[in-house]
Amino acid sequence: MNNLTSRVLVALLGIPALIYIILQGGALFCGLIVIITSIGLWEFYLMAEKKGISANKYVGIFFGAMIPILFFIPSMDKFGLFTSMLNVVFTLLLFVVSTILAEMFRGKPNAFLNITVTIGGVMYVAGFLLCLLGIRTLPSILGVQNLHGGYFILCMFIAIWLCDTTAYFVGKSIGRHKLFERVSPNKTWEGAIAGAVAAVGGFIGVSAWLLPELPMVHSATLGIIVGTIGQAGDLAESLLKRDAGVKDSSNILAGHGGVLDRFDSILMTSPIVYIYIFSIDLLGK
């Protein structure tokens, strides 16, 4: 099976399954976040090993998987969000303490780096993906009660897919000016701008179809966030891979690389969107 066939098969199976789980939400979506987090952390720590860093991947993956679970369990209660946040804070504190104590008994060199990368991986992968779960469980989004969180997240994913696809083809066909050559030599300003425009247009168009009650000003702003921060997330992942000397974070998704390769844009976008939602809702606008 050649690389193109593998890519097509994974896409044909993976995309419909992803859409179904996003729309279903609940424990199924939480389970997906746990799986993506666990595999993403495994990839992150493997890349760190390429740099001679012995992160405590077992402690990191365990606590990284527990964070979304402990966030989700009380999310539907009367005081759900408050309890969920407390669970996350206490879990993070226990994780940091456990990481430091475990390092004392491991006998590995570079204890400072090992502890830092173990904690940093959880903050980057589990912490950012947790925001995606947080968005999915919100009872109100941008002042709209009972807005379908699944449709909202689907808008995010579609805008990211449009951004990535447009940036690739425009950059390949007419791209001349390098965007960030030291990090990703093939990306161009022409592709990046076209991708950002596609993200804005895509978010506005899809949200007008799936979420007509969402004000256009928010759709446009969210499209800008996806189109810019999403591409920054892609570059950040490229920076890590280049530093580790690897082409892909893993080969777990045949023809598509690893989980971090596929979800790098949504990783960086989710916390910014989450902050935007909370900021607007706090202002009451």
What pLDDT digit, counting tens, does each position of 176-233 carry? 889 988 888 889 999 999 999 999 999 999 999 999 999 999 999 999 999 999 999 9
Q: Quote helix, strand, coil % in the chain, to nearest 5.
A: 75, 5, 20
Is a pLDDT exceeding 60 seen at residue 50?
yes
Which domain does 150 fall in, by range?
145-285
Residues 121 and 161 in one domain: no
- 256 pLDDT tier (thresholds 50, 70, 90): low
Residues 46 and 170 in one domain: no
Query: Would you state the structure tokens that stand for residue 223, as one six-digit string?
Result: 């499209």
pLDDT in the model for residue 107: 85
Instruction: Specify the DSSP class assigned to residue 141.
Output: E
The stretch 116-145 carries a mean pLDDT of 92
CA distance 158 to 206: 8
186 by DSSP, 3-state: which? strand
- 58 pLDDT tier (thresholds 50, 70, 90): very high
Number of domains the chain contains:
2
Query: Would you state the structure tokens that stand for residue 284, as one six-digit string?
Result: 């009451």
Is a pLDDT exceeding 60 seen at residue 285?
no
Residues 114 and 177 in one domain: no
The predicted model scores a pTM of: 0.92
Q: Virtual CA dihedral for 122, 123, 126, 129, nearest 10 degrees?
A: -160
Block residue for tokens 């593998």: 6
